[in-house]
A and B are shown apart, each in its own frame.
Chain A
Amino acid sequence: MIRVQNITKRFGEFPALHGIDLEVKPGEFIALLGPSGSGKTTLLRIIAGLEFQDSGEVFFHDEDVSSVGVGERQVGFVFQHYALFRHMTVAENVAFGLTVRKAKNRPAKSVIKARAEELLRLVQLDGLGSRYPGQLSGGQRQRVALARALAIEPRLLLLDEPFGALDAKVRKDLRRWLKDLHRQMGLTSIFVTHDQEEALELADRVVVMDHGVIEQIGTPEQVYMEPATPFVARFVGETNQLPASDGKDMLHVRPHDLEIVAADGDAVLVDNVFRKGGCWRVEGTLTGGGKVVEIDLDASRPAPSPGETVLIRPRRSKIFAQTGA
């Protein structure tokens, strides 16, 4: 179990993290999700021991590791740009964590070699051990970086934007593969991402962060369906903000939670209609307020046409008091 307790970190005048508490259960796959500057990478690096908190503690099980060096924490860290050693072969990269051990803890050469091969098989790169990182594709490099991190038998796997530098197709394949691998190994893992889709697809629980604080911790379902704050509602999935009936608060409604009704709804002037996957995406403006509204309608039914005025009503919504937003 990993426990982060009241972590605070400043970079000069810039507060990067403020009072962060987080518990990760053994075997969990956690996503730290947030925009750039939200502090998610800083938190990951503090858990790894690559960065130092100003105050607060990090516990691995019940051991306070705040003063344990990164080399002794036994964490596997996968860097955003992989940080593969260019002058070493793939196999040497994977074996590095074992070859630099002190002589008394170092496995025999043959054991190290076998272990590297085994790991390369695990990440489906068997046979590429004698290549250099420069000869591999982005997705392959990513998997070498993962194998290298796994070689030290980490207690915890940390991944910084693991798919950030890959193109869309590879990204998708690798995502599925990583999820399978996690299921297979059951290694406690935390990854950082700014892509909500990625977080919702992969993680057991998502930690949504903004401006150095945690906005919400929850399962993908909870974060999407029950956003705790306006920020989460806006950042995770698409959302419309409509004035509530009391005129003060804001109603957050997903595009697919809006329906067109015959009477007793808000009037929307349709500007534009196009097909978006299995539904019609209707873009319009609220008459009176001028606010832009996006609606997803079942594509099996006829769509309204631009210029028409329709009445809409939310099927479900979330109200936030006007203050925080």
Chain B
Amino acid sequence: MLADNRIKTVTSVAAAPADVPAKGRSLWRDAGRRFMANKAAMTSLIVLIGVVLFTIIGPFFAKWSIEKVDWSVVGNVLTAGAPSFETGHYFGTDEVGRDLYSRVIQGTQISLLVGLVGSAIAVVVGTIYGAVAGYFGGRLDSAMMRLVDIIYSIPYMFILILLLIVFGRSFIMLFVGIGLISWLGMSRVVRGQTLTLKNREFVEAAIATGSKPRDVIFRHIVPNLLGIVAIYATLLVPEMILLESFISFLGLGVQEPNTSLGALISEGAQTMQYGTYWQLAFPLVFFITILFTFFFVGDGLRDALDPKDR
């Protein structure tokens, strides 16, 4: 009983001083503070959260679905299809009389989803691939990186279009195609970082205590990569959105009645000459807002987490 108590007091005394610096400053807490101080990044983050909330809450206020044609505006889109609260078309209608409000919301959802999925694949595949190549080094490394070089220099845009034509245009094919290439850059970044990490003392210590390679990679190397992975993943999201929009602009993306921002911009650009500017303006504003905010958030993360630029 007494001995137990004593041990308890000893551990609590020993634990106390270790707790204090952890509460004070950690890498992540520091980074968080730096990020919060970055006005452009914080504003972007708030705007971005606003856009995401809008795509979640917005549909409840929609009076029209994405595919329902409003026959009262058909043939007279320029005046009857203009944005108005009375008709329930808050963003107006598109050229065939479908509600643009609902379509912009769906387009934004799909663009965000494509960005996040592409980025998530990059994080999982790219991190593991890069960490394994960097950690083991030697022949395995050069073989793995040579493969990345080869895939990298294939003009993926054409392969992606090819995939969409051959296997049909669907969400799954789009995600597969984007996932095929999104991890390449990430694996290079991660490999480079792993190369510098693996000679550090804590990794040597882990190896010396007999940890298996798998444990060294996942317990000691990957956690130390999280910063750079987070930065790169955030900057990858707008790239993936651009890629998807490009394909949708060509009319090779998701199929009607589903839509995406790239497809909406393409439609709006074609009808612009009739004076229906809102068909281009609304999707364009959402598109540019998303890209801008992701770039600034990614930049802010880099400033906050990357010790090199300080």
Query: Do A and B come from the same complex?
Result: no
